Amino acid sequence: MTVWAAAAKADAHRLTQDRPAAQFFRRERMDSILNEAQKITEGSRHEAYGPAKEDYTRAAAIASAILEKQLQTTDIVKILLAVKLSREAHKHKRDNLTDLAGYARVLSIIEGDEESLKSEQRKKLLYLASPYSHPDTSVVNMRYEKVCAEAAQMMKEGAIVFSPIAHTHPIAMFGGISDRTWEFWKEQDFALLKQCDELVVLRLAGYSGSKGVQAEINFAQKLGKPISYRDPSC
């Protein structure tokens, strides 16, 4: 066994045996870390740097010229994995685990284990916000019909759309939920907005004064999600 291999083995052993290491591996929600890594590699990183294989192929070419030694695309990713393992061996940080998962996924894409083109070109999931609550039931029903028609139009245009009103209005109607206020639906809607990539605000009459729509805009801004506005087409 080489010196480097022995050192790597020792660090790996320390990660699972030392101090709080074993504890944090049990404590950390690995599912959320994996989901976060997937979103990063498919979303912000992809948009900022381009397709993973192209990015790391360029990096390999540059590093090869600097070192005067031929490096493969996968070598760059493996080096970054080693850096993150070294940092995690020194001190635990959640970002280290997220980056490790991200780099592992990038390596899998480059090696052809995943359908990289399909994953990297994943369409955004749009959250369609619109006003809903109103003292007049006929206005509530009209708003429901309007947002359903708009969501359908967006789907025809090729978008992936989630409308909280189209989702919850029939649930309330057939499930016997009489409370149609934002306070009742807030927890449901925020949980779903977190999973979407972008907030689209439908400019139905009353949208600017809607408590729910304004809360969704503020929450999306807090999450750093892009926000766009759309005039009704139907």
pLDDT tens readout for residues 100-115: 888 888 888 888 765 5
Its CATH architecture, for the domain 125-230, is 3-Layer(aba) Sandwich (3.40)
pLDDT tens readout for residues 70-129: 989 899 999 999 999 999 999 999 888 888 888 888 888 888 765 544 544 567 899 999
Domain residue ranges of the chain, discontinuous segments joined by +: 3-119, 125-230
CA distance 180 to 89: 51
Q: Examine the pLDDT at 29 and tell me if it is beyond 70.
A: no
pTM: 0.51
Contact 165, 142 (CB under 8 A): no
